[in-house]
Amino acid sequence: MGEHQSIGCFHCGLPVPKHAHFEREIDDQLRQFCCSGCENVAALISGQGLGEFYQRRTANADRAIDSIENLSYFDNADLQTEFVSDLGDRKRAELLVQGITCTACVWLIEKVLRDQQGVVEVSVHSVTHRLLLTYKESETSLSSLMAALYQFGYRVQPWRVSSLQKNFERDKRKSLKRIGLAGFGMMQVGMVAIALYAGGFQGIDDATRNMLNWVKALMATPVVFYSALPFFVSALRALKAKHLNMDVPVALAIGGAYIASVVATLTASGEVYFDAVMMFTFFLLIGRHYEHQSRHRNLMDDWRYRAAIPDLALVKRDAEWAQVPSSRLIEGDHVRVVMGDQIAADGVLLQDATIDESIFSGESEPILKRKGDQVFAGTNNLGDLFEFVVTHRTNQSQLSKTNDAADLAHQHKPKWVTIADKVAAYFVAAVILISVATFAIWFQIDSSRAFWVALSVLVATCPCALSLATPTVLAAAVQTARRHGLLVRNSQAFSLLSQIDEIVFDKTGTLTDGQFSVTNVEYVDESIDPSFASALINTLEQHSRHPIAIALRAYFCDSELLNCDVTEQVGCGVEATIDGDVYRLGRADWALNTKGKQGIWLSCNGREMVQLFVEDRLRDDAQALLKSLADKKIKVTILSGDLQDRVDQIAKQLDVGKAYGDQRPGDKREYIAQRQQQGAKVAMVGDGLNDIEVLAQADTSVVVGDGVDLVVDRGDVVVLNHRLSQLIDLLSLGRQTRRLERQNIAWALSYNLSILPAAAAGLVAPWAAAIGMSLSSVLVVANALRIKRFKGESGGA
């Protein structure tokens, strides 16, 4: 426990601010805290004799919440209909608890709630963080129970699950029942089988044996028709679509063996295979269950991101603050966010604030934001109370756009997954043919064994693992990338990134952070009045969104504004006519109408007036990124729409050999196309604002936002946390994805090919074949999940 003291807050583990003095004796030891909230929570926990929480926990708790909002809202009967069910004299609420870090939290929450008056039953789900709370309304209210949890630093909100999650839960229960029934059936049939074997040695009369076979058939029937039903349904669906999937051979094996056995029982002749049928079903179901469970966990991770929008927001309505459901926020609303709360919509700050944007960036480092900066829905207020004005309502927020993009990526099936599906279909056809051939050959050799040998072949060589090999790796890789602040919109990007030869960078907003500063102003025309020139520049740039315009506007913001109409020439500059004189502000060749001059100029009727010097800042991590790319022997080219001399300057700083300025989007696209014709695989990294066609031309593309506008609907990969060095992580993640895919395919293929001769030779019993097939699938899934342990190289996250 000593290590908590030295690293940070005893309760939540965050660093203790330098000048903070939050100390208290907990369990006879002086502990330090990061804030009074955590201090009080720790005192409360140990004061109630619940100090064991600190010994039981395996992860630090979430930072405590300072204030308890108006929870009485949750006692509202209308609102309660959504998540509270009436059980006569008691009520049961379904809630989502935030702040659970390990099972010790589960223990603490249950203990705290059981201590409350009127609580009948409490249970907390450690994976989904769902709290089922049964209480007597005559003795307590939901809000007071919620308040009790808030005191311990857990926030609670109504449990609303996506239909997807509900389906998963229903499927899980069904699958458990199927496994259970198959297990019972398998054991019972096994017992009868022992009686028959014993009979085989000691002698048994035909009537008894036939009766025992009937018993077996009786027990096998519900297993085949209930437990094995999903195999038949899936196989039928595939056949209807004139396609072969993994379930076709399985259904054939189970169905064939069952029918053959029933016929044998009816006619009282021949072999019965009920035991084999049962074991098949049982082991296959278990394998499939584990596979579903791990996929479910994947989904749950994703789903947490969706839970990040709070239910209620504190909004100013008619000069009064009121709790309003987040979904009812509209643009222009004033919203207040207390410490520890999540932000309900995108907006602009009215005060400075400390924000945790880890939901986008994967980095939990608090970010200081100034008045006027953007805040995003789903991010967390770590500092004091602040207010903001809503600019995008909840369902149009960055978070919801990001989630939509992620959904699309999940639905999008990469090309080679489709190829793998096709290969697997051929494989299945081959398996069926081989099984038939095996049956025919064994029928000649030993007709009594022919049937079960064919069954073994059918099951053992089923390419389940092969079809799982790539999709599982990709799903896990997309998840992992998201945790590192990378939104993968097209999972194909992973394999393309691992083969890339050349990366083309855009300059402005990509290698540089998109912010310019004015370094020098030179009044070339000495007759001009500087205050008039300043006012003119300020006016001209007032409405342009170009980064240079923003810099100039900021530099001359103290000057007055002139009254005139301004037109913008995209890619050149801005223009206005005052008293018959045409003033232009922009690039030299346009403003001065001459070639050979560089820089930014203010001109009057084409005559030089003022030259402006601006400089853009390199991103902090650009240098490190390019060095690491050079180590990896990946070529780097800079293509920029900016002036050649400024591009050269940046290229020199970064030690990049090939850098071209004055590139229009069409030029950039042409360059990439030309390189591709020479056989190079080219990735494009841009800011996604004015280079869409370039991004599309490249083999794969990465979009790095500049922190103001997060572009999430372009490019194959979006760097959500604006850190360029995240590209290094992306590249190594791509390589690891590729490696795991290869391992999986190699394993699945070699398993299938090596078991085939053994099964055909009659060396593999049907139940062993079922275990082998299930195990190889589970192995493939487990291998895929290894990618989740990926730790970034760039030092982020």
Partner 1 sequence: MELSLTILIPVALVLVGLAVKIFFWAVNNGQYDDLDAEASRILFDDDVTPADEQVKDTK
Nearest approach in angstroms of CB 24 to partner 1 is 20
- The reply to whether 173 sits near partner 1 by the rule CB under 8 A is yes
Of 307 and 550, which has the nearer Cβ to partner 1?
A: 307
Q: From the centroid of its chain, how far is CA 3? A: 32
Nearest approach in angstroms of CB 61 to partner 1 is 16
Nearest approach in angstroms of CB 114 to partner 1 is 5
- In degrees to the nearest 10, what's the CA dihedral of 25, 30, 32, 37? 0
Interface characters, 129-168, with partner 1 (x: CB under 8 A): ----------------------------------------
Interface characters, 202-241, with partner 1 (x: CB under 8 A): ------x--x---x--xx----------------------
The phi-psi region of residue 746 (left if phi > 0; otherwise alpha if psi is between -120 and 50; otherwise beta) is alpha
- In degrees to the nearest 10, what's the CA dihedral of 58, 60, 66, 70? -40
Indicate which single residue of 66, 94, 137, 169 sits in contact with partner 1 (rule: CB under 8 A): 169
Return the range that interacts with partner 1 (CB under 8 A); candidates 181-189, 319-327, 354-362, 675-683: 181-189
Contacts of 780 (CB under 8 A, 6+ apart): 465, 468, 469, 472, 744, 747, 748
Of 184 and 747, which has the nearer Cβ to partner 1?
A: 184
Q: Look at residue 89 and give its three-state secondary structure.
A: coil
Interface characters, 92-111, with partner 1 (x: CB under 8 A): -----------x--xx--xx
Helices (H), 223-375: 229-240, 247-266, 274-306, 358-361
Indicate which single residue of 17, 180, 200, 666 sits in contact with partner 1 (rule: CB under 8 A): 180
- The reply to whether 85 sits near partner 1 by the rule CB under 8 A is no
507, 675, 690 from 504: Cα distances, Å: 10, 11, 15
Indicate which single residue of 172, 295, 334, 735 sits in contact with partner 1 (rule: CB under 8 A): 172
Of 104 and 612, which has the nearer Cβ to partner 1?
A: 104
* Interface of this chain with partner 1, residues 428 to 457, rule: CB under 8 A: none
C-alpha–C-alpha distance, residues 740 and 790, integer Å: 12
Of 126 and 519, which has the nearer Cβ to partner 1?
A: 126
In which residue are the tokens 């870090």 written?
A: 101
Q: Are 505 and 626 in contact (CB under 8 A)?
A: no
Nearest approach in angstroms of CB 177 to partner 1 is 5
Strand partners, 600: 587, 612
Indicate which single residue of 181, 286, 432, 784 sits in contact with partner 1 (rule: CB under 8 A): 181
Which has the closest alpha carbon to 790: 753, 740, 749?
A: 740
Which one-letter amino acid corresponds to residue 287? G
- The reply to whether 177 sits near partner 1 by the rule CB under 8 A is yes
Nearest approach in angstroms of CB 73 to partner 1 is 28
Indicate which single residue of 115, 407, 655, 693 sits in contact with partner 1 (rule: CB under 8 A): 115
- The reply to whether 126 sits near partner 1 by the rule CB under 8 A is yes
Let me know if 194 is exposed, middle or buried by CB neighbors in 10 A (0-12, 13-18, 19+): exposed
595: which 2 tokens?
């070639």
Return the range that interacts with partner 1 (CB under 8 A); candidates 31-39, 47-55, 236-244, 563-571: 47-55
Q: Are 89 and 138 in contact (CB under 8 A)?
A: yes
Of 67 and 208, which has the nearer Cβ to partner 1?
A: 208
C-alpha–C-alpha distance, residues 342 and 313, integer Å: 9
Q: Are 270 and 451 in contact (CB under 8 A)?
A: no
Which has the closest alpha carbon to 590: 577, 580, 601?
A: 601
- The reply to whether 127 sits near partner 1 by the rule CB under 8 A is yes
Nearest approach in angstroms of CB 768 to partner 1 is 25
Q: How many CB atoms lie within 10 A of CB 164?
A: 12
Residue 781 is given by DSSP the state H
- Determine phi and psi for 34, rounding to 5 degrees: -90, -20
Indicate which single residue of 188, 221, 354, 676 sits in contact with partner 1 (rule: CB under 8 A): 188
Nearest approach in angstroms of CB 182 to partner 1 is 10
Q: From the centroid of its chain, how far is CA 388? A: 28
Nearest approach in angstroms of CB 113 to partner 1 is 10
Nearest approach in angstroms of CB 207 to partner 1 is 8
Nearest approach in angstroms of CB 108 to partner 1 is 10
- The reply to whether 117 sits near partner 1 by the rule CB under 8 A is yes
Which one-letter amino acid corresponds to residue 558? D
Helices (H), 72-137: 77-80, 103-114
Return the range that interacts with partner 1 (CB under 8 A); candidates 123-131, 358-366, 650-658, 725-733: 123-131
Indicate which single residue of 3, 28, 49, 526 sits in contact with partner 1 (rule: CB under 8 A): 49
- Determine phi and psi for 317, rounding to 5 degrees: -130, 125
- The reply to whether 124 sits near partner 1 by the rule CB under 8 A is yes
Instruction: Please give the helix or strand (H or E) that residue 460 lies within, else none.
Output: helix 447-460
Nearest approach in angstroms of CB 636 to partner 1 is 47
C-alpha–C-alpha distance, residues 561 and 567, integer Å: 16
- Total number of residues binding partner 1 (CB under 8 A)? 32
> What are the residues binding partner 1 (CB under 8 A)?
48-50, 52, 56, 103, 106-107, 110-111, 114-115, 117, 124-128, 169, 172-173, 176-177, 180-181, 184, 188, 208, 211, 215, 218-219
